[in-house]
Amino acid sequence: MSEGDGAGEGAGRSGEESTRVERTVMRGIERVAGVTDEIVHHRGPNGARAFVNAFFGDRLDVAGSALSHTMGVRRRGRSVPLTREGLATAYPEATGEVVVLVHGLLVTETFWQQGRFGHRLREDLGLTPVTVRYNTGLRISHNGHDLDRILTRLVAHWPVPVTRLVLVGHSMGGLVVHSALAQADVEGPGSAWVDLVSDTVTLGSPHVGAPLERLADTTARAAGTLRHVRPLARLLSSRSVGIQDLRHGNILDEEWDGADPVDRVGRRVDVPLHPGIRHLAVVGLLGKKIDSRVAQLLGDGIVTAASARGEGRRSPEHRRFPAEDVVVLPGVSHLGLVRDESVYAAIRDRLGARVDP
C-alpha cells in the first residue's frame, strides 16, 4: 500500500467517524428534545434544538427529522395555527397594527423575551407582537420564501383587519426579513402583506457578510490541506448552508443556486430596499467611542459596523441604508441588541413617528 493510499483510507475513516458522531449526537438530542412542538415547548430543549438546527438544520430538513424547526408563528413556545380561529385564540386582544419579530442564529423566538420589546411596543404604541420560529440552518432565501408565506396567511386570517405591519429582525433574522420582501415582489399579487408594511428594523444584521463566517471558511480550506487537522476541516465544512449564507449576506436564490462551491468571492445581487417602506438599521459597538478604530473593526463583537449598516467592503461609499436611517449605539454588544434600553428607545421613536403616505 502506498503512502497516498494510507492517507486516503485514514481520511475516509475520519470522515465516517465524524459522520457517526454527528448522527449519534443528533439522535440523542432528538430523544431529549422531544418529537413535536405540541409536546415540547420549554426553553431548554428548544434551545438545544435551535443550536443543532443552526449547524445541521439543512440535513435535518432533508431527512425529515423531528428535530428540525419549521417556520411558523409561536406563542409561549407553542405553534399557532394560521387560521381565523387559531389566531383569535392565541391573540384575543389583537389590534390592527402588528409587529413581527424574527430571531437570529442559534436561538428561538424566546430570545426576544430578554428585552420584552414586543410587550413594550404593545404598551407604548399599540402594536400586537407576533414571534416566529424557523430553522436557521436552511438557506436564508428559503426562509425568506417561508416568511412570505407565513405573513400572507397571517394577514389573511388575523382576527381584525391589519392596517399596519412592522418587521423586526435580529442578526440573521434581519436578512430573512429583507429576503421575504425581495422575493415577495417577484411572486405577484399573492403577497398583499407587503403593502401593509410601514417599517423594517434590523438589529446587527450582516447585510454585506459576517467576518466570522469568512474566517470559518478560510480555516476549513486551510485545514483541509493538512492531514493531521483534516477532521477539523470536515467539521467546519459540515456547517449548514444557512451559516454559509452569512459569509456574503446572501438573501436570494440566484446568489447561491448553481454557484461554484470553491468560489470564495461569491455572487452578490444588489437588492434595492423596498420603496414606500421606512428601513432602520441599528448598529451596536463594543467600544464607547463611535469613531474608535477598534469599535468600528469589532462592531458589536459578531458583526462589523460596516456590515450592519450595509456598507460595501469593496466600495465603502455604497451604503444600503441612508445615513439618516442608521442608528449607531456604542457600548451595545450583538446579543445586547435585543435587551438594551437605548435600542428599544430607537425602535420606539422610529415606529412612533408615523409618516402618512
Average pLDDT (19-23) is: 57
**Residue 283 CB contacts under 8 Å (≥ 6 apart), including other chains:** 204, 299, 300, 305, 308, 309, 326, 327, 328, 329
Q: How many Å apart are CA 105 and CA 109, to the nearest integer?
A: 11
Between strands 78-79 and 72-75, the pairing is antiparallel
90 grid coordinates: 392565541
Between strands 128-133 and 164-170, the pairing is unpaired
Residue 120 and residue 136 in contact, taking contact as beta carbons nearer than 8 Å: no
In tens, the pLDDT along 77-115 reads: 899 999 999 999 999 999 999 999 999 999 999 999 999
pLDDT at 67: 86
What share of the chain has pLDDT > 70, as a percent? 73
In tens, the pLDDT along 44-70 reads: 677 888 999 999 999 999 999 888 999
Residue 88: its H or E element: helix 84-90
Mean pLDDT of the chain: 83
Across the beta sheet with 164-170, the strand order is 78-79, 72-75, 128-133, 97-102, 164-170, 197-203, 278-285, 326-330
Backbone phi, psi, residue 302, to 5° = -125, -45
Backbone phi, psi, residue 170, to 5° = -100, 130
* Residue of 263, 258, 251 whose CA lies nearest to 184: 251
Q: How many Å apart are CA 157 and CA 162, to the nearest integer?
A: 10
What share of the chain has pLDDT > 90, as a percent? 59
Distance of CA 235 to the CA centre of its chain: 22
Give the predicted TM-score (pTM) of the model: 0.85
356 grid coordinates: 402618512
**Residue 196 CB contacts under 8 Å (≥ 6 apart), including other chains:** 155, 162, 163, 164, 165
Give ∠ CA 192-163-125 in degrees, rounded to 5.
135
Q: How many Å apart are CA 313 and CA 311, to the nearest integer?
A: 6
pLDDT at 262: 55
Within 10 angstroms of residue 1's Cβ, the number of other Cβ atoms is 7
**Residue 107 CB contacts under 8 Å (≥ 6 apart), including other chains:** 47, 50
Average pLDDT (12-30) is: 54
